[in-house]
Every structure is written in structure tokens, then in C-alpha cells.
Amino acid sequence: MNIQAVIFDMDGVIIDSEPMHTEVFNSMTDEMGFRLSVEVQNTFIGRSPTSLWEYCREHHNVDEESFTLVLEQAARYRRMLSNLPCVDPMVGLPDFLDHLQDLGIPMGVASSNQRITVEHVLEVLELRERMHAVVTADDVKHVKPEPDIFLKAAKLLDIAPENCLVIEDATNGILAGKAANMTVVALNNPNSGDQDHSRADRVIQCFDELRLPFRI
């Protein structure tokens, strides 16, 4: 296979953020008088926050509009990040990015989160300038597990989908990457919950295990 671009998911791949998202989400639902089980929340990892709040509106009689709740959740998450003494990328990621840069491989981010949150995280981690394309839930009609978000990233990178490598931690993202006809590496992040990596072309525990040329 001829890998000519690498597309990263953000949450759980670039930053170990799922515990923080869960804390923010649970604080909001606690205020509303309910809490979703861990099992239910795990099924939404990799999908958009809007889909999670739509589920809450349907099953827990939440009156607020999903759009409003998504904005509130994003604002609380950004405040949490800003209050942390230090925010680091995933272990091994900086060296892997250097490796790709040395090879002249363009990089992108394809996240089901909102652009304001994605851009904020990339700026905090000082990674924004390294990404040649950033695609978010605001840029496509259908998010993961549909392939739209990865296909748009490939188009912006000007690389054929079959020559793109996707790095994901979640079942929904893996399904989206495979539906886009891309090679998919699953990063086994314990903080991302119980995810099915069986459809991935390869599973890694850390970025230190991954170098190009890609080998299954």
C-alpha cells in the first residue's frame, strides 16, 4: 500500500480527552437529574456531541435544544482545558509527527467534534500549523460512522482515499475510515471505553509502534 497522507481523529488520539468530556457531560446531566450509563456513553464515542444530546432529549425529556447544549458542553470543556496546569498530546505523538514531516507526508485532522473545540485543542497543543487540513462536524452533513468527514479531509489534502492512513480510537471512527476506503490503525486507548477494533487493519498501543512505510 502507498500511504501518502495521515488523517488523525482528535479525541482519544491527539489528546486523551474522553475522561474530560465525560466529566463535563456528566456534570450537565447531573444538573438535569439523570446520568447515562457508561455503556450507553461509550456507544457515542467518535460520534458528534449533537447525537448524544439528541439521545438525551428523546430518552430523558430534556427540553433544551441540542445545539444549545452542545455549545454549553464545548464551553465548559474549553474552560477545563484552560484551567489545567499542563495539557500534553498523546504519548509518542510528537515524535510520530516529526517522522511524518521528515517524510514529507501531509497530515490532517477529522473530528466529529465542533470546529471551535477542535481548533482550541490544536492551538493549546501547538499543533495547528502542522495540520494541512482540519475537518469537523460543522463541515459535513453526516459524521462518523459515515465516511464523509474522512473523504472531505482526503479531498482537502488532495490525496486519493485509498492512499490515506486513518488513526482512530473508536469503533465509529474505524467504521468511517473503512467506509472511506482508507487504511485504518486503531490506537488502543483504555480511556476511550470498550471499543471494537476488529475492523482496523492494525491495532497499536502507542504511537511509538507506528512508522511508515506502513506494515500490517
The mean per-residue pLDDT over the stretch 155-178 comes to 97
Fold of the domain built from segment(s) 5-16+88-209 = Rossmann fold (3.40.50)
User: Whose CA is closest to 57, among 79, 82, 28, 78?
Assistant: 28
Tracing cell 497499536 back to the chain, one arrives at 204
Instruction: Return residue ranges of the chain for CATH 1.10.150.
Output: 18-83
Confidence check: pLDDT of 216 > 80: no
Residue 168: its H or E element: strand 164-168
Measured between alpha carbons, how far is 45 from 192 in angstroms, rounded to an integer? 7
Model pTM above 0.95: no
The predicted-structure confidence for 97-126, as pLDDT tens digits, reads as follows 999 999 999 999 999 999 999 999 999 999
**CATH 1.10.3470, applies to 18-83:** no
The predicted-structure confidence for 58-107, as pLDDT tens digits, reads as follows 999 899 999 999 999 999 999 998 888 888 999 999 999 999 999 999 99
The widest CA-to-CA distance across the chain, in whole angstroms, is: 52
